């Protein structure tokens, strides 16, 4: 690698389970869904200066990975990142996102699917974020109530 080239890091994520696996890429918040047996590759590009992974908190680490049941969050510490398949083709946000009752109601997707006979379209990003914010706000208010009861 030449001195002025930016470093590149790749992280392979494979779904060895029996259900869909959600892959969330931060700091963008994009979601990508893997079917059982499928592999995605998270790419990130560092800066060519002395500190290539500027977002890292532990030395020279381009990624941080958090696992929850059914979901993996990859925090990229590079200047740019994206998700691709094993051939290198970029995977769009919402790839294979399941339609839930909540998202179907918010987008009218359930009515659309019944009337057209076609599968519902993906829910727009802003509606997904609004639903996620509502869930987070409800969780936070529950934690605040619990904390105030403990202080008494």
Burial of 78-103, coded b for 16+ CB within 10 Å and e otherwise, reads beebbbeeeeeeebebbbebebeeeb
User: What pLDDT is attached to residue 102?
Assistant: 55
pLDDT band at 27 (very low <50, low <70, confident <90, very high): confident
Express each pLDDT in 65-106 by its tens digit.
Answer: 999 999 999 988 887 889 999 998 998 988 888 876 555 544
User: What pLDDT is attached to residue 49?
Assistant: 72
User: What pLDDT is attached to residue 37?
Assistant: 94
**Calpha distance 109→128 (Å, rounded):** 13
pTM equals: 0.61
pLDDT band at 137 (very low <50, low <70, confident <90, very high): low
């Amino acid at each position: 690698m030449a001195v002025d080239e930016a470093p590149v890091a790749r992280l392979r994520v494979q779904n060895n389970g029996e259900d869909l696996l959600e892959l969330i890429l931060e700091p963008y918040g994009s979601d990508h869904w893997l079917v059982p047996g499928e592999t995605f590759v998270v790419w990130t590009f560092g800066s060519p200066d002395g500190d290539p992974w500027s977002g890292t908190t532990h030395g020279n680490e381009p990624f941080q990975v958090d696992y929850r049941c059914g979901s993996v969050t990859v925090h990229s510490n590079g200047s740019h990142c994206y998700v691709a398949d094993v051939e290198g083709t970029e995977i769009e946000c919402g790839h294979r996102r399941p339609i839930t009752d909540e998202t179907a109601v918010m987008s009218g997707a359930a009515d659309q699917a019944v009337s057209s006979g076609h599968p519902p379209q993906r829910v727009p990003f802003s509606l997904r974020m609004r639903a996620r914010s509502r869930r987070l706000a409800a969780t936070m208010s529950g934690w605040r109530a619990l904390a105030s009861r403990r202080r008494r």
